């Protein structure tokens, strides 16, 4: 009886590929979840693609890994915001820089190189129901933020008791649809991950997976800085090394008028549909 069971198991294992290689692509809802001090955050769309490998130790069970590139995005909107702080102009004179920001919009994207470490369970013959669960190690790749807004800037000089409002060559005046791009500063993280769906088997070891996935970031990916050392959203330059102007920083890496960070932590998450083309050997 034992010999018969071993023979049946071996014959089934031979019919099942020990090694399975795949290419996949997917997309759906993505989130860089955070709670800004002002304004409103909204989620974006996720997309990812990659290569996978499964080693089956039994017809119904295997270890899955691979590599993939995933994109997580969000959008931040703020109708109106005023800031003022002391700065120094290109002549070395102190003044109060004032900025009235309106219609501020910022697009944020985090690009991750992910390595899944998961278990796969499947059941069925011609088509199989499958479930994958485990973790993904995610390494942050170079990223950037882009923003657009309207600005009304001025400089108040206390000794002169005068506010300059039209000198655009030193950053004062009205600037409409001012666009900026900044480097993102994200850390690596670990995702708890799950995927489930149907595996359609064809001849010559070819299979197509159709399923849904859910990735949940377990750690904060925002690199920490002392809030007092963070720049303002609208940052004035004195022009000693650059022409006199103002720069626009990301809300993820700047502070408000109370010297508090606009955002304290960012948690990534994604859910969507995945299609996978697999070849068993």
10 Å CB burial of residue 33 (0-12, 13-18, 19+) is middle
pLDDT tens per residue, range 152-171: 999 999 989 999 999 888 88
Arithmetic mean of pLDDT, 58-70: 95
In angstroms, rounded to a whole number, what is the distance separating the alpha carbons of residues 95 and 236? 11
For the record, the structure tokens of 98 come out as: 């004032």
10 Å CB burial of residue 166 (0-12, 13-18, 19+) is exposed
pTM: 0.82
Return all residues near 267 (Cβ < 8 A) that are at least 6 apart.
31, 32, 33, 34, 217, 219, 220, 221
Sign of CA dihedral 9, 15, 20, 26: negative
- Asked if residue 201 lies in contact with residue 210, where contact means CB atoms within 8 angstroms, the answer is no
pLDDT tens per residue, range 1-27: 433 343 334 444 444 579 999 999 999
∠117-123-126 over CA atoms, to 5°?
Answer: 115
């Amino acid at each position: 009886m034992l010999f018969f069971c071993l023979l049946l198991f071996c014959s089934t294992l031979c019919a099942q590929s020990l090694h399975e290689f795949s290419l996949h692509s997917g997309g759906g809802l993505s989130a860089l979840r955070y709670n800004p001090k002002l304004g409103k955050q909204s989620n974006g769309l996720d997309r990812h693609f990659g290569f996978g490998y499964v080693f089956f130790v039994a017809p119904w069970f295997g270890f899955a890994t691979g590599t993939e590139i995933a994109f997580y995005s969000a959008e931040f909107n703020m109708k109106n915001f005023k800031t003022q702080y002391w700065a120094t102009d290109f002549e070395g004179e102190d003044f109060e820089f004032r900025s009235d920001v309106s219609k501020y919009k910022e697009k944020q994207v985090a690009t991750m190189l992910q390595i899944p470490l998961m278990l796969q369970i499947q059941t069925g013959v011609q088509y199989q129901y499958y479930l994958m669960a485990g973790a993904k190690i995610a390494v942050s790749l170079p990223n950037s933020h882009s923003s657009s807004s309207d600005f009304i800037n001025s400089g108040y000089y206390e000794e002169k008791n005068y506010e300059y409002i039209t000198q655009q060559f030193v950053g004062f005046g009205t600037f409409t649809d001012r666009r900026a791009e900044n480097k993102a500063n994200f850390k690596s993280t670990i995702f708890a991950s799950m995927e489930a769906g149907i595996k359609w088997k064809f001849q010559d070891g070819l299979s197509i997976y159709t399923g849904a996935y859910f990735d949940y970031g377990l750690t904060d990916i925002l690199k920490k800085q002392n809030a007092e050392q963070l720049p303002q959203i609208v940052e004035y330059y004195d022009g000693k090394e650059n022409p006199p102007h103002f720069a626009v920083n990301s809300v993820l890496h700047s502070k408000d008028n109370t010297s508090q960070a606009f955002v304290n932590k960012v948690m990534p998450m994604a859910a969507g549909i995945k299609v996978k083309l697999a070849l068993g050997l």
